[in-house]
C-alpha cells in the first residue's frame, strides 16, 4: 500500500468531519476578533434573551450579550486552556515516565507510588483541593488540571518505555556503545512518540470536559469572560424559555470532545497497519482477475479463482 | 597466541525471589553462569554451544560487560573490565573494541530510523567526521558485499540476509578487535545462512578479528570455529579444538548432543539413542554433576554427589566428568572407546560407593 | 517406492493458488502448487521462509482469514473438495480428519486449563462421558511419552517445557482421530536433543497408527530424519518432488541442489546461493529461480517450467 492509499484509508468520513470541525473551531478561536459580530462582554439590558435576529444571529444571553460572539470567544478560552493543560502534563509526565521506565530502581518505585496515590482520588475532587490551595482563577485551574494529568501520562510513558527497552534494537544500541541519553531520546522516543501523540489528543478532549466542569462550578474563569463551561452555568436556569442559550455551549463541548476522540482513533489506525481497513473481498477478486495473464505462472487458471466455501457449481 | 579475554571463576546469578526454609529466608537463585573459567585467544574463533537455558547468551553479555557478574573477573587485554560499571564512561570507550551481532537482524535495527542514519550515528559516536563516516561505510559495504543502492531502501524492504550484513557493517564501523555473534545465523534461511557464515569467516581472516560465536547449532560451529566450549546449565562440560571435539567427544553430554543432530542423509545410521528428558531449570541444581539427571552413564553415589573437576585429557581438551578421571587409556593419550571408559568409570563408582 | 500398490492419495492438491490481501498489498503466496500425500506416508514440504509453505498448509486446513483470501485450484481430501466445503463441513474435517500442530505449542493451548482436561475435551467432543474422556486422555498422554502421565495431566501449559507441550499437541491431534497430521515447523523452537525425541515420536505414530504426516520445515536435517517423500517449494510452487534419497543424492532441480550444497556439513565447505528469494507481492516472469540459478538460459526468463519427472525445470540435472 503506497502513501496515497494510506492517506485515503485514513480520511474516512468521521475522521474528515472531525478534522473539519476541529479546524473550524481552531480558526474561529484564533480570529475571534475579526469573526465575532459584537463585543462578547457588552451588556445590552434592552434585549435580554432575545430570539435570533439579523442583529444577533443566535440571539442574546440573560445579560443581553450577543450569544454568537460569546461562543466564538468562548472557543478561544476553552481551546487555549485545554491545550495548556495538556502541555503542562506532557512537559512533566513524559520525561518523568521515560526516566522511571529506563532507569528502573528506586526512582521508578517512588515515582510510580506517587502516581498511584494521586490516581487513587477522584480527579475532580483533587482539582478542587488544588484550586482551593492555589486560589480561584483560570490560571490556577489550568495548572491544577495540568498537574493532575501528569500521573496517567507518566505511567503510560513508563510502560511504553519498558516495552521498548526489552527490544533487541535497544540492546544493540547499548552494545554499540551509545549512552543512556542517546538511547532514550533518539532510539526509544521515536518509537513511542505516535502512541503518546494519540494519548495527548485524547487528553485535550478530557481537558475540555474537566475545564468545563470547573468553570461550570465557578472555580475557573470569572465573569464576564466568555467560556463554554461558564456559559453553560449562567444559562442553565433558562433552559426552558431559551434552549439555544443553554444548550449551544454544551453541544459545542460534546462535539469537540467527540471530534478529538475520533481523530485520535483515526491516527492510531493510520499508524497501526493491522487496524487499517482493506478493500472488500469482492473488489480484491476483481483486481486479481484483471491481472496480466502472461505475468504469473499459475494465472491461466485464475478464472477459477474463488472464495472458499463457494459451491463448485459457481465456476 | 596470547589471550584477549581471560575469564576467571565468572558467575552470574539472577535473584528470582526468596524462599522460606529452616534457619531463615534464603534467596532463590537462578545460576545462569556458574564459576566458569576460560581464555579467548587473540585471532581465534571460539564457539559456545549449548541448549537454550544453558546460559550461553548470559555468558556472552558478561564478556562484553553489558551486565555485571555476581562474582569472578573478566580481563580484557589484562584490564579487569568486569570491575567497570556497564554504563560507565571508561567502559563506553572500550565498547568500540568489542562489538556484537544479534540473532534477529530485523529487530536489531530501530524500526523508526533509516539504516543509513543509524550507521552514521555509530560513526559519529566513534568520532568520525561526516566525510570519514561516508568513506568508512562505503569501504565496509564493499568488504561485506553490499551494494550502495541498499541505502535508498526502507528498512522493511530489506531481506534478512541484507540486514544481517548491515548489522555486521554496523559492528565493524568502530574497527573492533573482538566480535561477539549471538546466534547470528539462526534466524536466517538456509541459502542465506551460508552467505553470512562465509562472511564471518572472511571478516575474521581479513581483519584479524577475534570472534566469539554463540550458537545452538553444532554444524554451524563446526564449520566456523577453531575451538569450542560446551555449556550446560552454566558450566563448561567440555572444551576442545573443533576437530578434536567432533572426532573425539568425551563428555557424555557432548556425545548426546552430537547424536541428537539430525542426520545429514536419510540413510545415515544412528550410533546412539537420543538423549531422554530435557534441560532442567537452573534454579534447583542437582548436587554433583549437573548433567547427572539426564546422563545415560551416570554412576549413582558418585555423579550425583560430587561435582567433577576439569581433566585435561590432551592439550587444550578439557572434560568435566568423573568417568574420565582415572581412565588410563586417555591419560596414555590413546583413543577412548566410543561408549566412554565404562570399566574405569564403574571402578571409580564402586570405590566411592564402598567409602 | 516402485513396489507400492497405486492407491488413491489421501490428500491431493492441484493447481492451488492463494492470494492474500494484506495492508502492504496483495500477496500472491501460492502460485499453482501440485502435490499429494498417500496413506501412511511422512511427507516433507521444504522451503525457505516466505516461499508459501505455511500458507499451503493452512489452506488445507482452511485456516487463512477467509475474508482476505482468494483461492484457486483444488484441495481434495478423500474425494471431497475442501475449498468448496462450507465452513460447517470444514469444522468436521478439522481435527477429526486433519489436525495441525504448530511451531509454538504454548500459544496454541489454553493457558488457563490443565493439559489433561484439554485432551479430554477432544474426547468429549467425540461423545465420550466425562470420566471416560479423562481416563482416555491420560492414556493418550502416556502414549505420546509424557510420564508420569496421570500426574502431568494436572499441569497447566506454562508448567511444561516446549517438548512436552508439543507432545500434548500431538496427543490432542490423535485423540481427535486425525488421519493426517500437519506439523508446521514442529521442532524449530526446540533444542536438538528434544527435537530428536519429537521426530522419533512422529515416526513412531506412523508405524503404530498409520497416521499420514505432512512436515513443513526449512531444515533438511528434519527431512533426512523423518520423511519418506519430500516436496521442495520455491516462490509459491513445488519445484521438485522425490523420495528423500533422491532429493539428497540425485536432486534434479538446481534450486534443490544449491540448497543442499549450502548446508554446513562435516568437512564440506557450504556454498552460498547468491541473491534472495523473490517478493511474492511482485509479478514473476519466467522461472522464479532464474535470477539466482547457475544453469539459467534465455528460455527460463520468459517461460514457466511445468513439473516433469519430479522437477519443474527446463534444464534439470540428468540423473545418472
Fold of the C1-86+221-320 domain = Rossmann fold (3.40.50)
Query: How large is the average pLDDT for residues C192-220?
Result: 91
pLDDT higher than threshold 80 for residue B168: yes
CA dihedral sign of residues A170, A173, A174, A179? negative
Q: Where residue B334 falls among pLDDT bands split at 50, 70, 90?
A: very low
The helix/strand/coil state of C14 is strand
Nearest by CB to residue A297, choosing from C24, C25, C32, is C32
Q: What is the pLDDT of residue B272?
A: 67
Nearest by CB to residue A301, choosing from C32, C68, C81, is C32
pLDDT higher than threshold 90 for residue A301: no
Q: pLDDT > 90: what percent of chain C?
A: 46
- Taking an 8 Å cut-off on Cβ atoms, the answer to whether A308 and C237 are in contact is no
Q: What is the pLDDT of residue A313?
A: 38
pLDDT higher than threshold 50 for residue B343: no
Q: How far off is chain C from A286, nearest CA to CA, in Å? A: 11
Taking the C-alpha atoms of residue B164 and residue A259, their distance in angstroms, rounded to an integer, is 45
**Contact between B340 and B332 (Cβ < 8 Å):** no
- Taking an 8 Å cut-off on Cβ atoms, the answer to whether A312 and C84 are in contact is yes
**Contact between A236 and A246 (Cβ < 8 Å):** yes
Q: Where residue B1 falls among pLDDT bands split at 50, 70, 90?
A: low
Taking the C-alpha atoms of residue C86 and residue B187, their distance in angstroms, rounded to an integer, is 38
Per the document, the length of chain A is 315
Chain A residue numbers touching C32 (CB-CB < 8 A): 297-298, 301
Q: What is the pLDDT of residue C255?
A: 93
Q: What is the pLDDT of residues B93-143, one digit of tens each?
A: 899 999 999 999 999 999 888 899 999 999 999 999 999 999 999 999 999
pLDDT higher than threshold 90 for residue B338: no
Taking the C-alpha atoms of residue A87 and residue A126, their distance in angstroms, rounded to an integer, is 19
In chain A, residues 142-181 whose CB comes closer than 8 Å to chain B: 167-169, 171-180
**Contact between B246 and B69 (Cβ < 8 Å):** no
Q: Which three cell numbers stand for residue C76?
A: 481434495
Query: How large is the average pLDDT for residues B167-185?
Result: 94
- Taking an 8 Å cut-off on Cβ atoms, the answer to whether C83 and A284 are in contact is no
pLDDT higher than threshold 80 for residue B286: no
Q: Which of these, B165, B179, B201, B172, lies nearest to B98 by C-alpha position?
A: B179
- Taking an 8 Å cut-off on Cβ atoms, the answer to whether B109 and A174 are in contact is no
Average pLDDT of every residue of chain C: 89
- Taking an 8 Å cut-off on Cβ atoms, the answer to whether C85 and A309 are in contact is yes
Taking the C-alpha atoms of residue A119 and residue A105, their distance in angstroms, rounded to an integer, is 21
- Taking an 8 Å cut-off on Cβ atoms, the answer to whether C285 and A295 are in contact is yes
Q: What is the pLDDT of residues B24-60, one digit of tens each?
A: 777 788 889 999 999 999 999 999 998 888 889 899 9
- Taking an 8 Å cut-off on Cβ atoms, the answer to whether A297 and C24 are in contact is no
Is B306 within a domain? Answer: yes
Of the two residues B265 and B52, the one the predictor is more confident about is B52
- Taking an 8 Å cut-off on Cβ atoms, the answer to whether A191 and B110 are in contact is yes
Find the helix or strand (DSSP H, E) in which B192 lies. helix B190-207
Domain count within chain B: 1
Q: Where residue A37 falls among pLDDT bands split at 50, 70, 90?
A: confident
- Give the position of cell 553490499: B146
Chain C residue numbers touching B144 (CB-CB < 8 A): none
Q: What is the pLDDT of residues B178-226, one digit of tens each?
A: 999 999 998 888 888 888 998 999 999 999 999 999 998 888 899 899 9
Is B320 within a domain? Answer: yes
Which residues, including other chains, have CB under 8 Å from residue A157's CB and lie 6 or more apart?
A: A93, A94, A96, A97, A98, A101, A192, A196
Backbone φ and ψ of B234, nearest 5°: 85, 5
Buried b (16+ CB within 10 A) or exposed e, A191-215: bbeebbebbbbbbbbbbbbbbbbbb
Q: Choose from A164, A171, A172 for mutation: most chain B CBs within 10 A.
A: A172
Q: What is the pLDDT of residues B153-166, one digit of tens each?
A: 888 888 888 899 99
pLDDT higher than threshold 60 for residue B295: yes
Q: What is the pLDDT of residue B346?
A: 35
Query: How large is the average pLDDT for residues A2-15?
Result: 76
Q: What is the pLDDT of residue C278?
A: 86
Query: How large is the average pLDDT for residues C82-111?
Result: 89
Q: Where residue C167 falls among pLDDT bands split at 50, 70, 90?
A: very high
Taking the C-alpha atoms of residue C55 and residue A120, their distance in angstroms, rounded to an integer, is 49
Q: Which of these, C269, C266, C174, lies nearest to C221 by C-alpha position?
A: C266
Of the two residues C240 and C284, the one the predictor is more confident about is C240
Average pLDDT of every residue of chain A: 84
pLDDT higher than threshold 90 for residue C137: yes
Nearest by CB to residue A284, choosing from C17, C70, C87, is C70
Q: What's the distance, CA C75 to chain centroid?
A: 15
CATH architecture of A3-278: Orthogonal Bundle (1.10)
Taking the C-alpha atoms of residue B221 and residue A262, their distance in angstroms, rounded to an integer, is 55
Count the Cβ atoms, other than its own, within 10 Å of residue B32: 23
Range of the domain at B310: 286-355
Find the helix or strand (DSSP H, E) in which C20 lies. strand C11-22
Of the two residues B329 and B274, the one the predictor is more confident about is B274
So where are chain A's domains?
3-278, 290-314
Which residues, including other chains, have CB under 8 Å from residue B337's CB and lie 6 or more apart?
A: B329
Chain C residue numbers touching A301 (CB-CB < 8 A): 15, 17, 32, 72-73
Query: How large is the average pLDDT for residues A23-27?
Result: 93
Chain B residue numbers touching A167 (CB-CB < 8 A): 107
Chain A residue numbers touching C86 (CB-CB < 8 A): 309
- Taking an 8 Å cut-off on Cβ atoms, the answer to whether B264 and C221 are in contact is yes
- Taking an 8 Å cut-off on Cβ atoms, the answer to whether B195 and C259 are in contact is no
Nearest by CB to residue B112, choosing from A172, A174, A191, is A191
Q: Choose from B90, B98, B108, B164 for mutation: most chain A CBs within 10 A.
A: B108
Q: What is the pLDDT of residues C40-63, one digit of tens each?
A: 999 999 998 889 999 999 999 999
Q: What is the pLDDT of residue B325?
A: 58
The alpha-helical segments, DSSP class H, found in chain C are 53-60, 87-93, 105-108, 115-125, 130-143, 149-152, 162-175, 192-209, 220-226, 244-249, 254-261
Query: How large is the average pLDDT for residues B303-331?
Result: 78
Nearest by CB to residue A308, choosing from C71, C236, C285, is C71
Average pLDDT of every residue of chain B: 84
Of the two residues B183 and A271, the one the predictor is more confident about is B183
Is B189 within a domain? Answer: no
Q: What is the pLDDT of residues B226-237, one digit of tens each?
A: 999 999 999 999
Is B147 within a domain? Answer: no
Is C17 touching A (CB cutoff 8 A)? yes
pLDDT higher than threshold 60 for residue C253: yes
Q: What is the pLDDT of residue A304?
A: 44
> How many residue pairs bridge chain A and chain C with CB atoms within 8 Å of each other?
89
pLDDT higher than threshold 50 for residue B339: no
Which residues, including other chains, have CB under 8 Å from residue B323's CB and lie 6 or more apart?
A: B252, B297, B299, B340, B341, B342, B344, B345, B348
Is B15 within a domain? Answer: no
Stated pTM of the model: 0.84
Q: What is the pLDDT of residue A298?
A: 44
Q: What is the pLDDT of residue A108?
A: 93
Is B50 within a domain? Answer: no
- Taking an 8 Å cut-off on Cβ atoms, the answer to whether B276 and C197 are in contact is yes
- Taking an 8 Å cut-off on Cβ atoms, the answer to whether A190 and B110 are in contact is yes
Task: Identify the closest residue of chain A to B121 by CA–CA distance.
Answer: A178
Q: For B82, which DSSP code?
A: G
Q: What is the pLDDT of residue A187?
A: 93
Of the two residues C115 and C263, the one the predictor is more confident about is C115
Amino acid at each position: 500500500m503506497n502513501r496515497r492509499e494510506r492517506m485515503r484509508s485514513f480520511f474516512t468520513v468521521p475522521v474528515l468531519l472531525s478534522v473539519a470541525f476541529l479546524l473550524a473551531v481552531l480558526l474561529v478561536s484564533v480570529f475571534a476578533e475579526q469573526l465575532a459580530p459584537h463585543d462578547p462582554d457588552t451588556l445590552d439590558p434592552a434585549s435580554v434573551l432575545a430570539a435570533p435576529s439579523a442583529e444577533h444571529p443566535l440571539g442574546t444571553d440573560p445579560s443581553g450579550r450577543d450569544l454568537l460572539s460569546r461562543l466564538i470567544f468562548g472557543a478561544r478560552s476553552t481551546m487555549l486552556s485545554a491545550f495548556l493543560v495538556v502541555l503542562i502534563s506532557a512537559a512533566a509526565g513524559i520525561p518523568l515516565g521515560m526516566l522511571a521506565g529506563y532507569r528502573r530502581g528506586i526512582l521508578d518505585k517512588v515515582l510510580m507510588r506517587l502516581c498511584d496515590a494521586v490516581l487513587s482520588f477522584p480527579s475532580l475532587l483533587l482539582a478542587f483541593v488544588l484550586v482551593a490551595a492555589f486560589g480561584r482563577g483560570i490560571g490556577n485551574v489550568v495548572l491544577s488540571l495540568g498537574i493532575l494529568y501528569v500521573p496517567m501520562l507518566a505511567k503510560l510513558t513508563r510502560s511504553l518505555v519498558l516495552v521498548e527497552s526489552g527490544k533487541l534494537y535497544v540492546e544493540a544500541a547499548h552494545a554499540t556503545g551509545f549512552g543512556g541519553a542517546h538511547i532514550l531520546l533518539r532510539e526509544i522516543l521515536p518509537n513511542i512518540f505516535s502512541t503518546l501523540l494519540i494519548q495527548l489528543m485524547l487528553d485535550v478532549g478530557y481537558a475540555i470536559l474537566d475545564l468545563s466542569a470547573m468553570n461550570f462550578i465557578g472555580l475557573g474563569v470569572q465573569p464576564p469572560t466568555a467560556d463554554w463551561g461558564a456559559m453553560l452555568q449562567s444559562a442553565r436556569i433558562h433552559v426552558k424559555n431559551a434552549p439555544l442559550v443553554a444548550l449551544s455551549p454544551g453541544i459545542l463541548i460534546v462535539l469537540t470532545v467527540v471530534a478529538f476522540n475520533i481523530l485520535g482513533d483515526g491516527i492510531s489506525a493510520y499508524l497501526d497497519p493491522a487496524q487499517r481497513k482493506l478493500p472488500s473481498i469482492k473488489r480484491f477478486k476483481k483486481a486479481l482477475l484483471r491481472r496480466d495473464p502472461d505475468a504469473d505462472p499459475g494465472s491461466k487458471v485464475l478464472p477459477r479463482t474463488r472464495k472458499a466455501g463457494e459451491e463448485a457449481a459457481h465456476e | 597466541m596470547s589471550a584477549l579475554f581471560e575469564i576467571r571463576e565468572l558467575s552470574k546469578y539472577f535473584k528470582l525471589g526468596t524462599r522460606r526454609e529452616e534457619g531463615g529466608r534464603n534467596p532463590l537463585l537462578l545460576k545462569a553462569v556458574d564459576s566458569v573459567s576460560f581464555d579467548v585467544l587473540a585471532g581465534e574463533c571460539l564457539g559456545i554451544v549449548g541448549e537454550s537455558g544453558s546460559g550461553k547468551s548470559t555468558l556472552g553479555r558478561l564478556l562484553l560487560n553489558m551486565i555485571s557478574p555476581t562474582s569472578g573477573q573478566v580481563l580484557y587485554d589484562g584490564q579487569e573490565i568486569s570491575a567497570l560499571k556497564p554504563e560507565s564512561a571508561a567502559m563506553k570507550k572500550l565498547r568500540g573494541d568489542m562489538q556484537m551481532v544479534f540473532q534477529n537482524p530485523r529487530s536489531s535495527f530501530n524500526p523508526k530510523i533509516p539504516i543509513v542514519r543509524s550507521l552514521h550515528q555509530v560513526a559519529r559516536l566513534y568520532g568520525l567526521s561526516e566525510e570519514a563516516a561516508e568513506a568508512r561505510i562505503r569501504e565496509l559495504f564493499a568488504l561485506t558485499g553490499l551494494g550502495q543502492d541498499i541505502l535508498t531502501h526502507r528498512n522493511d524492504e530489506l531481506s534478512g540476509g541484507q540486514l544481517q550484513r548491515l548489522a555486521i557493517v554496523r559492528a565493524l564501523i568502530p574497527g573492533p578487535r573482538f566480535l561477539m555473534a549471538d546466534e547470528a545465523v539462526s534466524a536466517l534461511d538456509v541459502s542465506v545462512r551460508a552467505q553470512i557464515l562465509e562472511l564471518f569467516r572472511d571478516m575474521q581472516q581479513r581483519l584479524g578479528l577475534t570472534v566469539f560465536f554463540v550458537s545452538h547449532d553444532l554444524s554451524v560451529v563446526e564449520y566456523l570455529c577453531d575451538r569450542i566450549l560446551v555449556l550446560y546449565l552454566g558450566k563448561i562440560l567440555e572444551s576442545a579444538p573443533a576437530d578434536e571435539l567432533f572426532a573425539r567427544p568425551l563428555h557424555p553430554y557432548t556425545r548426546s548432543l552430537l547424536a541428537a543432530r539430525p542426520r545429514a542423509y536419510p540413510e545415515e545410521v544412528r550410533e546412539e539413542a537420543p538423549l531422554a528428558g530435557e534441560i532442567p531449570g537452573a534454579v534447583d541444581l542437582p548436587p554433583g554433576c549437573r548433567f547427572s539427571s539426564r546422563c545415560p552413564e551416570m554412576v549413582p553415589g558418585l555423579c550425583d554427589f560430587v561435582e567433577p573437576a576439569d581433566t585435561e585429557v590432551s592439550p587444550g581438551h578439557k572434560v568435566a566428568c568423573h568417568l574420565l578421571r582415572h581412565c588410563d587409556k586417555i591419560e596414555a593419550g590413546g583413543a577412548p572407546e566410543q561408549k566412554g571408559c565404562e570399566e574405569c568409570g564403574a571402578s571409580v563408582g564402586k570405590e566411592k560407593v564402598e567409602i | 517406492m516402485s513396489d507400492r500398490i497405486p492407491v488413491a492419495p489421501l490428500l491431493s492438491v492441484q493447481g492451488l493458488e492463494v492470494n492474500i490481501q494484506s495492508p502492504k498489498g496483495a500477496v500472491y503466496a501460492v502460485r499453482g502448487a501440485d502435490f499429494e500425500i498417500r496413506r501412511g506416508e511422512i511427507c516433507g514440504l521444504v522451503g525457505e521462509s516466505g516461499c508459501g509453505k505455511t500458507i499451503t498448509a493452512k489452506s488445507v486446513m482452511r485456516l487463512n482469514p477467509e475474508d482476505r483470501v482468494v483461492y484457486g485450484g483444488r484441495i481434495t481430501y478423500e474425494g471431497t473438495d475442501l475449498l468448496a466445503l462450507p465452513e460447517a463441513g470444514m469444522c468436521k474435517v478439522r481435527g477429526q480428519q486433519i489436525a495441525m500442530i504448530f511451531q509454538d505449542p504454548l500459544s496454541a493451548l489454553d493457558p488457563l486449563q490443565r493439559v489433561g482436561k484439554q485432551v479430554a475435551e477432544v474426547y468429549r467432543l467425540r461423545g465420550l462421558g466425562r470420566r471416560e474422556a479423562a481416563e482416555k486422555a491420560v492414556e493418550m498422554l502416556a502414549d505420546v511419552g509424557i510420564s508420569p502421565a496421570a500426574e502431568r495431566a494436572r499441569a497447566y501449559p506454562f508448567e511444561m517445557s516446549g517438548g512436552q507441550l508439543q507432545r500434548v499437541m500431538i496427543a490432542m491431534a490423535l485423540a481427535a482421530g486425525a488421519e493426517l497430521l500437519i506439523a508446521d515447523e514442529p521442532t524449530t523452537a526446540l533444542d536438538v536433543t528434544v527435537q530428536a525425541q519429537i521426530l522419533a515420536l512422529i515416526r513412531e505414530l506412523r508405524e503404530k497408527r498409520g497416521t499420514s504426516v505432512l512436515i513443513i520445515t526449512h531444515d533438511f536435517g528434519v527431512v533426512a530424519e523423518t520423511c519418506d517423500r519430500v516436496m521442495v517449494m520455491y516462490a509459491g510452487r513445488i519445484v521438485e518432488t522425490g523420495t528423500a534419497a533422491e532429493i539428497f543424492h540425485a536432486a534434479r532441480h538446481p534450486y534443490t541442489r544449491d540448497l543442499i550444497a549450502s548446508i554446513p556439513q562435516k568437512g564440506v565447505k557450504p556454498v552460498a546461493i547468491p541473491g534472495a528469494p523473490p517478493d511474492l507481492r511482485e509479478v514473476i516472469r519466467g522461472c522464479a529461480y532464474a535470477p539466482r540459478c547457475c544453469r539459467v538460459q534465455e528460455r527460463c526468463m520468459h517461460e514457466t517450467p511445468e513439473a516433469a519427472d519430479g522437477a519443474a525445470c527446463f534444464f534439470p540435472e540428468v540423473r545418472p
